[in-house]
Amino acid sequence: MGKVVVIEHLTLDGVMQAPGHPDEDRRDGFQHGGWATQRQDPVMQEVMGAHMSSTWSLLAGRTTYERFADYWPRQEPNPFTEALNRVRKYVASTTLTEPLAWQNSTLLKGDAAAAVAKLKDEVAENLVVFGSGVLVRSLLTHHLVDKMVLLIHPLTLGSGRRLFADSGPDLAAHQLTDCTTTRTGVIIAAYHPAGE
């Protein structure tokens, strides 16, 4: 049975929107894109890789998938680009249609939570989610997330899309299973669900 592993860059006030570059995600007039790049640290890749496992697939919502598919296939060869191009990609969307342009991509049709629950029963590898906030909130609501790895940056933005919205999932407890601090002050905390 597959496990859903959510890996997110967050600010101290919970914003997850557009960590990579300034124009990554301008939805809702967001003006603070690229906030995570100055705190990159080799420790981040090591810790994230350890939580992903050696066999994994990418699970993404439409917006993240489209941004990744537009960006990563055009980058210079490097281990991360090669891994993303090679890995199986599952995309939860009610608006995309097949065939999907990025190699090794499969569309999950219909209700995202039901499709992911079915997929977890069918695969053995970890299903790793980067970004995809709308999808992650749905998966949390349906108790389908097995692990969250949160990279918490020492920064507040005051606005932006948050991982845990005001109308987020029901009350739930999470158990801290691992914690690392990078030289740039980012706390990487791994959590498993601990029930209500």
- Using DSSP, state whether 81 is helix, strand or coil: helix
What tens digit of pLDDT does each residue of 13-29 get? 999 998 887 888 888 88
Predicted confidence (pLDDT) per residue in 97-127, tens digit? 999 999 999 999 999 999 999 999 999 999 9
4-18, 114-128, 158-172, range with the lowest pLDDT: 158-172
Task: Name, in order, each residue with C-beta under 8 angstroms of 61's C-beta and a sequence gap of 6 or more.
Answer: 91, 92, 93, 112, 131, 132, 133, 134, 135, 136
Number of compact structural domains in the chain: 1
Alpha carbon 154 to its chain's center: 19
Summarised one tens digit per residue, pLDDT across range 31-78 is 888 898 889 888 888 888 787 767 899 999 999 999 999 988 988 887
Q: How far apart are CA 139 and CA 42, in angstroms?
A: 29
Provide, rounded to the nearest whole percent, the portion of the chain with pLDDT above 70. Answer: 97
Decide which of 50 and 183 is more confident: 183
Dist CA 2 CA 123 (whole Å): 5
Supply the pLDDT for residue 8.
Answer: 95
Output the CA angle 30-190-120, nearest 5 degrees: 90
Bridge pairing between strands 187-193 and 147-153? antiparallel
Total-model pTM = 0.92
Residue 131's pLDDT is 92
Q: Is 89 exposed, middle or buried (0-12, 13-18, 19+ CB in 10 A)?
A: buried
Nearest residue to 33 (alpha-carbon basis) of 42, 44, 24: 24
- Do strands 56-61 and 147-153 pair parallel, antiparallel, or not at all (unpaired)? unpaired
State how far the Cα of 148 lies from the Cα of 8, in Å rounded to an integer. Answer: 8
Q: Residue 188 belongs to what domain range?
A: 4-193
Whole-number pLDDT of residue 167: 67
Is it the case that residue 165 has pLDDT exceeding 80?
no
Q: What is the CATH number of the domain that holds 55?
A: 3.40.430.10
Long-range contacts of 27-36 (CB under 8 A, 24+ apart): 27/161, 28/160, 28/161, 30/159, 30/160, 30/161, 32/157, 32/159, 32/160, 35/11, 35/153, 35/155, 35/157, 36/9, 36/151, 36/153
Vertex 180 angle, CA 177 and 185, to 5° = 140
Angle at 13 between CA 27 and CA 135, to 5 degrees: 50
pLDDT of residue 146: 96
pLDDT exceeds 80 at position 196: no
